[in-house]
Each structure stands twice: as structure tokens, then as C-alpha cells.
Chains A and B, each alone.
Chain A
Amino acid sequence: MRVLVAIPALNEEEAIGGVLGSLAAAHPLEDVVVIDDGSSDATGRIAKAAGAHVVTHPINLGVGAAMGTAFKYAVERGYDAVIQFDGDGQHRPEHLGELVAAAADADIVIGSRFADGGSFKSSAARRGVQRVIARFASGYAGTRLTDATSGFRIAGPRALRVFAAHYPVEWLGDTVESIVLATRQGLTVREIPVVMNERAGGAPSQSLFRAILHTGRILFILGLASIRSVPPQIRALQRRTQNEVAR
């Protein structure tokens, strides 16, 4: 299986060099693409110099759009799977192999900080938020998902085709809505426990009010995603697939 590691990055010039350096031990940088999402610093140049491929958005389009670009890139270059990896050093390269192995019997595998064996220190408010989101996300996916907002995940061949056609671009849609979208396309989702590093910039402190607002927004996105019909791009993909089968 040809696996592409995609790193959406916005103004990560301080971290991206180190991230690619440690990533190189686990995955050839030839199969790494950094999506420079309109950075105003040297992120793209540093990533290029380190040996990764770089795709540059002329303006900032958000993480969801960056991953959308990465999925299209992967399909064009004939990759079978895409791993989303963080540009600020949050994710650990030693879990890449576990994600690929777990992708053998699921279309999407999410690296969870909260599954048994994962680790994450956070405030009580954040844990409460995660618990509520986890319950709803698990309900939609039909399997236990404890960390729906985790950006450390792999999309296998079937998921890749769907996501290259359409990937949610709105805030938090890339993580939460994509799970609902994939599930409704008949794709399977599972999770594996991972350990994550502290964010290089320090985790943003969340007050109770912001935690509630955050939860509300995610639940709104989940609810909206579940009443929405199939996106036109994915419907077109389904038609193409049916035509291929018919021929």
C-alpha cells in the first residue's frame, strides 16, 4: 500500500523542520506532502529544503481545504492511503505504522488521545466536552470513538476516493463532519490509542463558557451533517463508479 503523509501547515516555520526531521525516520520524505496553507513565513521553503513535497495555497483556506488538496494530490499521484499529520509536533511518527496496520480492516482509522492506552492531560472542562462529543460521534459511526476532533488519522483507498471528491471545509468540519460523511457513504471508522505531545505553542486554556459553546457548535455540525443529503460531488463520484461497474 502506497501511503502519503499529508501535513497541513500554517506559519509553522519554527516547528516544521523538526517535525519533518523526526518523521523521516518513520516514513520516506519522498512520500510526504506539506500543504502550505497560505503561510506568510518560511514554512514552505523549509519543508522543501527538508525534502518533502510542498503544495502551496495562494491564500489561507483552512485545514479542511488543505486536506482536500492533499486527497486530490494523493489520487493524482496514485497513492492508496493518506495519513493526516500535524505540523506543530503534536503527533508522533512512531504511531504511523500502527495507523497503517489498523487501516487493513477499516476505511478510516483515528488516532485517539482518550482511548485506553492513549494519553492526554487536559482540564476538566475539556474532558467534559470530549465526553459529550464522543458519545454523539460514536452513535453516528456505530463504533466507539473517543476523540472525534483528533486530526491524526488515516484514510484508506475507499475513503480516499470519497474525500478527494468532497471534503468538508468549514470550521471543525474536517474532523467531525468527515466522520458522519464517511459513515453515510458506508465506510467504516475505528480508532486506535495514541500518545500525543503537548502543542509546541501550549494548549489554549478553555473556560467553561467556551467549552459549552465549543460543544454546542460541534453538536450542531454533527446534527447538520446527519440531515444533509449527499454532497453533489460525491453523488457524481457514485455515478461514475456505477458506470464503471456497468461497463
Chain B
Amino acid sequence: MTPQILAIALAIVLLLVVIMLLRSYVLPEKYAVLWLGASVAAIILSAWPGLLDAVAAFFGVAQSINLLFVGAFVVVLLLLMQVSLEVARTRDELRRAMQRIALELERRKERDD
């Protein structure tokens, strides 16, 4: 019983951290849904282990813990993909912004000369 209580406590801590980050304007809304969803899912799965077994049985997975690992791995991969795309987009935006500013500064210098 104790590991389960530990798991629930960790999941609740995760949820609280997410809410605190949201409250203090550190975590933007864009990612809020995802993190809230993940922490609520963690609470449900840790409070109700039977759910995981039932879903695993439905998909014919013998060891239900494997389903959790595969599911979590897929979610983490998708998150990583999203972060990669965001970084690429941000770099692209930064480059374009800097180019426009550089051109504007050059135009100003020519005007002042």
C-alpha cells in the first residue's frame, strides 16, 4: 500500500507544481493543458491501479506495467518532438527579427550620414 501512497503523493506534487508555475506566469497557457492533463492522468493512474490492468487486458498486454512504459515513452517522445519544433521556430523568428533590425539600423545610418 505504501508505494501507492508515495505515487499518489508524487502525482499531487506534480499537479501543484504545474499550478504554481501557471499562477506565477512562468508556464504559458499553450502548454498548460498538456501538463495539467499529464498530472491529472498520473493522479488517476496511481490512485486507481485497476484501471491500468483493465486497459492492458483490453489490448491483450500481458504485463500491464509494460503498457504504462510504452504509453509514457510515446508521450515523452511527442513532447520532445514538440520542443524541437518550438526551438526551430524560435530560432527562425529570432533570425528574421535580427535581419530586419540590422537592415533598419543600416537605413538609419545612411540617413544620418
Interface residues of A, Cβ cutoff 8 Å to B = 58-59, 170-171, 173, 220-221, 224, 227-229, 231-232
Contact = CB atoms under 8 A, between A and B. Distances in A.
Secondary structure dominating the interface of B: helix
Contacts of A227: 19, 22-23
Nearest to B29: A170
A68 to B, nearest CB: 14
A223 B97 CA distance: 34
Contacts of A58: 96-98, 100-101
10 contacts: A58-B96, A58-B101, A59-B93, A170-B28, A171-B30, A224-B22, A227-B22, A228-B22, A228-B25, A229-B23
A170 B19 CA distance: 18
A231 B25 contact: yes
Interface of B: 19, 22-25, 28-30, 32-33, 93, 96-98, 100-101
Contacts of A232: 24-25
B32 A59 contact: no
Contacts of B23: 227-229
B22 A170 contact: no
Nearest to B19: A227
B36 to A, nearest CB: 9
A229 B30 CA distance: 18
A141 B102 CA distance: 44
Contacts of A171: 29-30
Contact of A229 (B24, B93, B96, B97): B24
A150 B55 CA distance: 45
B29 A173 contact: yes
A232 B19 CA distance: 17
Nearest to B100: A58
A228 B30 CA distance: 15
Contacts of B19: 227
Contacts of B30: 170-171
Nearest to A57: B97
A224 B29 CA distance: 8
A221 B29 contact: yes
A81 B32 CA distance: 33
Contacts of B100: 58-59
Contacts of B24: 229, 232
Nearest to A221: B29
A120 B64 CA distance: 55
A58 B95 CA distance: 10
A58 B23 CA distance: 30
Nearest to A169: B28
Nearest to B33: A220
A228 B20 CA distance: 9
A156 to B, nearest CB: 25
* From B28, B29, B97, residue with most partner A Cβ within 10 Å: B29
Given A220-B32, A228-B23, A229-B24, 16 more contacts: A58-B97, A58-B101, A59-B96, A59-B100, A170-B29, A171-B29, A171-B30, A220-B33, A224-B22, A224-B32, A227-B19, A227-B23, A228-B22, A228-B25, A229-B25, A232-B25
